[in-house]
Amino acid sequence: MPDQLTNVAAIKALLAGGGYLPNDALATSVFLALKLRRPLLLEGEAGVGKTELAKVLAATLGRPLVRLQCYEGLDLASAAYEWNYSRQLLHIRAAEATGANVGALERDIYTPDYLLKRPLLQALELSAEGAAPVLLIDELDRADEPFEAFLLELLADYQLTIPELGTVRAETPPITILTSNRTREVHDAVRRRCFYCWIDFPSAAREREILQLKLPHASAELTRQVVEFVQSLRRMDLYKNPGIAESINWAQALTSLDVVARDPEAIDSTLGTLLKYQDDIARIQGSEAARLLSEIKSRAASSPS
C-alpha cells in the first residue's frame, strides 16, 4: 500500500483526483482492501461505477490494469494460461527429425517459453516483477459456477498452480477487484475471501457533484435538470434503470448539442443515450417526459432561491 494512503480521507482524495467520487462506505472498503491486501467484491446495478473504480485506482496509483472479462463458458485456458500446442508440436517434429531423446523432449516442451499467459497469470507475474497491478475480474456473475472454484486458490493465497511447472506466487499481492451485476449469486466461498461493498445509485446531491466533475462546462441548470430527471426515472418501474454512466453520457450528448436546459423535444430525441431498451424509451417519450419535466420545473420554481 502506498505510504501516502494512510486513511480513508486519503483514498477519497486519491480517487477524486481521478474523477471518481466514492461515498464513505466504498472509500473505507477500498482502504481496507489495500491495507490488509484482501480482494474487494463490488456488487450493484450495471453503470454505477464498479469497473470504473478499478480503472481509476490503477491510473491514480500508476499501476498496470489487468482485466479479466468474465463470460459464460470462461475456462482455465482463457483466464489463466494454456500451452502453445502448435509450437510444441513443431518442436516435437523438429526433434524427431534429429533423433532427440524422448525424455529430454518432454522437458523441453513444458517450459515457460511454450506458455500462453492469460490475465490471472499475468497479474501474478507482474506482482513478482515490481509494483503490484490492479487485477479486475469483471462481471464474475456471468461466468459459470465451476470457474469460481478455480479462483479460490488465487483469492486466498495469490498463487496459481501449473502442474507441469509448479506454483506461481505473487511477491506482492495484486490489488484485486471483483465485480458482479448480481445476475446470479456469487458463491459463499468467494465472498468469504473478499471484502464486500454494494454500490447503489448515487443520491441527487452526489450525482450533481459527479456531473460537475465530469462535465465542468455544462450549465448548472442543465446539470440540475438531468439529475432530477434521472432520479425520477429510477423511481419508476423500468426494465433497466439508468446508472451514473448513462447520466454522464446523456449530459455529454446534450452539451454536444448545445442544449442549455431541458425541453420535451430534446428529451425525446436523446433518450437513446440514457435508456437502453425500446420498451422503456416508448414509455417515457412524449407525454410522460413532458410531465416529468414539468414537475422538475415546478419544484425549481417553488424552491427558495
- Do β-strands 195-198 and 65-69 pair in parallel, antiparallel, or remain unpaired? unpaired
Q: Are 142 and 106 in contact (CB under 8 A)?
A: no
Going by pLDDT thresholds of 50, 70 and 90, the confidence category of residue 301 is low
Going by pLDDT thresholds of 50, 70 and 90, the confidence category of residue 100 is low
Give the pLDDT confidence score for residue 303 in this predicted structure. 66
The whole-number average pLDDT for the span 134-154 is: 93
CA distances from 59 to 7, 17, 54, 180, 231 (A): 19, 10, 9, 22, 30
3-class SS of residue 235: coil
Those residues whose C-beta lies under 8 Å from the C-beta of residue 55, and which sit 6 or more positions away, are: 65, 136
Those residues whose C-beta lies under 8 Å from the C-beta of residue 174, and which sit 6 or more positions away, are: 66, 123, 124, 126, 127, 132, 133, 134, 135, 158
pLDDT at 305 over 60: no
Instruction: Give the residue, 264 or 24, on which the prediction is more confident.
Output: 24
- Do β-strands 159-162 and 81-83 pair in parallel, antiparallel, or remain unpaired? unpaired
pLDDT tens per residue, range 164-221: 888 998 888 999 999 999 999 999 999 999 999 999 999 999 999 999 999 999 888 8
Distance CA(223)–CA(255), nearest Å, equals 10
Q: For the whole model, what pTM was predicted?
A: 0.88
pLDDT at 1 over 70: no
pLDDT at 101 over 70: no
Give the pLDDT confidence score for residue 304 in this predicted structure. 59
Going by pLDDT thresholds of 50, 70 and 90, the confidence category of residue 56 is very high
pLDDT tens per residue, range 214-268: 999 988 888 999 999 999 999 998 999 999 999 999 999 999 988 876 678 888 8
CATH fold for domain 8-80+118-198: Rossmann fold (3.40.50)
What torsion do the CA atoms of 279, 285, 291, 297 make, to the nearest 10 degrees?
Answer: 120
Looking up cell 446470479 gives: 184
Q: Are 71 and 142 in contact (CB under 8 A)?
A: yes
Going by pLDDT thresholds of 50, 70 and 90, the confidence category of residue 3 is low
pLDDT at 142 over 90: yes
The whole-number average pLDDT for the span 137-149 is: 93
The whole-number average pLDDT for the span 10-38 is: 95
Q: What percent of the chain has pLDDT over 70?
A: 93
Give the pLDDT confidence score for residue 226 in this predicted structure. 93
Range of 63-72, 119-128, 232-241 with top mean pLDDT: 63-72
Three-state SS across 40-87? Answer: EEEECCCCCCHHHHHHHHHHHHCCCEEEEECCCCCCHHHHCEEECHHH
The CA angle 294-297-303, to the nearest 5 degrees, is 140
Instruction: Give the residue, 66 or 287, on which the prediction is more confident.
Output: 66
Distance CA(186)–CA(183), nearest Å, equals 9
